[in-house]
Structure 1
């Protein structure tokens, strides 16, 4: 079952990392084969690269994708196989879900470390106009997210949070029961003003990024970007840091409870969805023999 970031993704949609994440989140095989379409879309959202920058970025991206496919995807295949085995033996519980959650965090960390040098170079080489474009894009991102997630009254935020989670769960389990839907609603209420905490935290991280990019020609820039990408917790707000463990545990408890409440058809659907992902991953030509 997918525990998405209710727990909070890397706040800035890093170009290379995001392309890799997209390739791992939906129709993986399709995404890998259509990077020429995906890449300009994300570049246009945040940066206005010149021809030389884009050419270098594409070459670096090919190297990152090759690394990801040959070294990381075989690990994902093993983990998916383990999860399928646990589903079929009815061994899914809070402990096994926590283990898989830790695997996911390790995978994200590995990707982040891999793309840090490319991202650092990309940011260092921006001219003043490109930095303004980046900051304007981040400001637009903040306005749009505030409008979507903060402007509605709290009860509407909670209802929409429950609806989003319900859609994610149904992707993996199929149609959910009234009891499962009620459990999701209880979880959504338990998070309270999480939208505000999450967005305040996101804004603080983005401000730290903008401040670092403003000093991109100063000594220590590489280290500042590495800390932002690889150790983002250091830039969390105090409120978000204080609430994180509770939010994390609430998501794991939800996933565990929903699975415990699932019937035979839902578990079969979950197994089928995992098999679809496994086949998508396993069909990539870049995998080692």
Structure 2
């Protein structure tokens, strides 16, 4: 799960990339990564029997996702297209699209919870220990990448990542737009710290739940981890999330207000092409 600053931009322009999971099993784990913030399957080795059962259940869920959720996603993309084409990009419009995208994710999280409970309940003690070790390695690696660098370097790298994402959709940014991106990144400050602390808390809660995976309360604890993640957020992350979401919305509103005709046309063209790809997806029974 990436830092909160991505939500406003990516959910408005690219949250429908979740639909790529409908096309092949290889992308399914990326889909689940957005619902299970640090996918268990990436951190431990499954037995052949576990992998077979997991993949079988996953195929069923992806088929459900494609058949029942895809039409709504296409309609959502149409709203985004109209919003940009009609120059109606504003905070209320963006928040409406953001709320719809969050609801779509919540719907899928609810669908996958029962099978996730069964998959986690089937882990053996060695796998739980492996998971704990992998989580510790994950924290160390991410701390080295995102925190063990000077704050100004964190800000510069964040701005550069966002510039590249924006230019993928809009084409080359003007110098004024690049400066706006730099100001946005600077305003987020030490956001990486809150993000990593919150990530560690979720991992710890999962490990605690797994110690009681054969109890009657286990399913309820996993439901909270998947469907009510906000209730487990640290206070610093809760504040950072709200601030960074607002900063992202403000950034996109400003960029659209200064977008050239060419940039707007590029954005609409790429969005239309993406929608066409999704509309052509054939759902598997």
Q: State TM-score, norm by structure 1.
A: 0.86
Partner Cα separation in structure 1 for residue 156 and residue 214 of structure 2: 46
**Aligned partner (choices 63, 87, 91) of residue 84 of structure 2:** 87
Deviation per residue, 1:77-131 (Å, 9 max, x gap): 0111122122222222222111111111111111111111111111110001111
1-structure distance, mates of 2:168, 2:27: 25
Q: Secondary structure at the match of 1:266?
A: helix
Distance 1:84 1:25 in 2: 15
Contact 1:86/1:92 (CA < 8 Å) preserved in 2? Answer: yes
- For 1:25 and 1:36, locate their aligned partners in 2 and report how far apart those are by CA, in whole Å: 14
- Counterparts of 1:188-227 in structure 2 under 5 Å? 188-227=185-224
Deviations 1:234-284 (A, max 9, x none): 111121223332222111111111111111111111111111211111001
Question: Aligned pair in 2 of structure 1 residues 274, 190: CA closer, same or farther (>3 Å)?
Answer: same
Whether the 8 Å CA contact 2:169–2:267 is kept in 1: the answer is: yes
CA RMSD in angstroms comes to 2.4
| Match of residue 187, structure 1, among 184, 187, 201 | 184
Match of 2:252 in 1: 255
Q: Is residue 2:167 matched to residue 1:177?
A: no
- How far the C-alpha of 1:151 sits from its partner, in A, is 0.4
Cα distance in 2 for residues equivalent to 1:100 and 1:189: 26
TM-aligned CA deviation for residue 36 of structure 1: 4.8
Alignment of 1:141-180 (within 5 A): 141-180=138-177
Runs of 4+ in 1 over 4 A off after TM superposition: 36-40
How many pairs align? 270
Matches within 5 A, 1:1-289: 5-7=3-5, 24-25=16-17, 28=20, 32-36=22-26, 45-286=42-283
TM-score by length of 2: 0.88
Write the deviation string for residues 154-211 of structure 1: whole angstroms up to 9, x where unpaired: 0000100111111111111111111111111111111111000111111111111111
Q: Give the secondary structure class of the aligned counterpart of 1:285.
A: coil
Partner secondary structure for residue 139 of structure 2? helix
Contact 2:25–2:59, Cα closer than 8 Å, also in 1: no
Checking the alignment, whether the CA contact within 8 Å between 1:64 and 1:115 is kept in structure 2 is yes
Shift of 1:53: 1.1
| Mapped contact 2:40–2:131 kept (Cα < 8 A) | no
Q: Distance in 1 between matches of 2:206 and 2:5?
A: 20
Q: Judging changes above 3 Å, is the alpha-carbon distance between structure 1 residues 164 and 8 closer, same or farther for their aligned structure 2 residues? A: closer
Distance 1:171 1:27 in 2: 19
Q: Which runs of 5+ in 1 are unaligned?
A: 10-21
Deviation at 1:24, TM superposition (A): 4.9
